[in-house]
């Protein structure tokens, strides 16, 4: 399973995140990026948030005024179907090695794009860990950084290892 980095996104805190062409990735995320609510987002187990561009496109088609970075993702990717993403998978992105840790839960900050958005990106089944849910990973997947380095727009994202 492989895809591509379409956009790398950072912000001084909160939504939206804005694009950069390249970034240095540390164990706590992308340099220059901050979280508005670090008790909920961020930290070593939620250092990077990945969202599939295909999911953003579906939400735009459903009428939400979104764009890459609007959901607060650090990496907008293309070519990896979120329904196949699982905690424990390891991906190589440029020089960086990440491990998926947990689904992204909806945040009140997303209400700026429509109060119903949170119901479009998750449901009870996905929250309970049922990857058969049609809303599995629509809101993205958090990842821990196992090997630091630089990433660039256009870098391949390649599944390296499936744990568990």
Indicate whether 12 pLDDT > 80.
yes
CATH of the domain spanning 2-162, picked from 3.40.50.12780, 2.40.33.20, 3.40.1390.10, 3.40.1390.30: 2.40.33.20
Alpha carbon 117 to chain centroid, angstroms: 16
* Per-residue pLDDT tens over the stretch 125-156: 999 999 999 999 999 999 999 999 999 999 99
pLDDT tens string 89-113: 999 999 999 999 999 988 888 999 9
Q: What are the tens digits of pLDDT across the range 32-62?
A: 999 877 777 788 999 999 999 999 999 999 9
Q: What does each C-alpha distance from 45 to 37, 57, 78, 99, 133 come to in angstroms?
A: 15, 27, 23, 9, 23
Q: Which two tokens stand for residue 160?
A: 């390296």
Do 54 and 1 touch, CB atoms closer than 8 A? no
Q: 């390296």: which residue's tokens?
A: 160
pLDDT at 164: 58
């Amino acid at each position: 399973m492989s895809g591509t980095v379409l956009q790398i996104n950072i912000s001084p805190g909160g939504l939206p995140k804005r694009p950069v062409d390249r970034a240095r990735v540390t164990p706590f995320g992308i340099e220059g990026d901050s979280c508005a609510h670090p008790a909920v987002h961020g930290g070593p187990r939620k250092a990077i948030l990945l969202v599939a561009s295909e999911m953003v496109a579906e939400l735009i088609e459903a009428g939400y005024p979104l764009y890459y970075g609007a959901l607060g993702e650090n990496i907008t990717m293309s070519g990896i179907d979120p329904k196949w993403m699982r905690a424990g998978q390891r991906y190589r992105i440029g020089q960086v090695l990440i491990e998926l840790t947990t689904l992204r839960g909806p945040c009140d900050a997303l209400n700026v794009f429509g109060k119903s958005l949170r119901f479009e990106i998750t449901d009870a089944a996905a929250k309970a860990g049922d990857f058969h849910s049609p809303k599995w990973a629509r809101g993205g997947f958090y990842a821990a950084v196992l090997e630091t380095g630089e990433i660039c727009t256009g870098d391949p994202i390649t599944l390296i290892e499936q744990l568990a």
